[in-house]
Amino acid sequence: MLRAVVVAALALAASPAIAQDGAQLFNMQCRMCHSGSPMGPSLAGVAGGEIASKSFAYSPALKAKGGVWTDESLDAYLKAPTTFAPGTKMLVSVSNPTQRAAIIAYLKTLK
Ligand code: HEC
Q: CATH homologous superfamily of domain 2-107?
A: Cytochrome c-like domain (1.10.760.10)
What number does the ligand 1 atom closest to the CA of 85 have? 18
The model carries a pTM of 0.88
Over residues 31-70, the pLDDT tens digits come to 999 998 999 999 999 999 999 999 999 999 999 999 999 9
Over residues 61-103, the pLDDT tens digits come to 999 999 999 999 999 999 999 999 999 999 999 999 999 999 9
How far is the centre of ligand 1, averaged over its atoms, from the C-alpha of 28 (Å)?
13
- What pLDDT, on the 0 to 100 scale, is given for residue 15? 43
| 95 Cβ contact partners less than 8 Å away, ≥ 6 residues apart | 4, 79
- What pLDDT, on the 0 to 100 scale, is given for residue 14? 46
Please list every protein residue whose CB sits less than 6 Å from any atom of ligand 1. 29-30, 32-34, 39-41, 43, 46, 51-52, 54, 58-59, 61-62, 74, 78, 88-90, 92, 94, 103
What number does the ligand 1 atom closest to the CA of 53 have? 26
Quick check: 94 and 29 in contact, CB under 8 A?
yes
- Cα-based angle 82, 84, 86 (whole degrees, multiple of 5): 45
How far is the centre of ligand 1, averaged over its atoms, from the C-alpha of 110 (Å)?
14
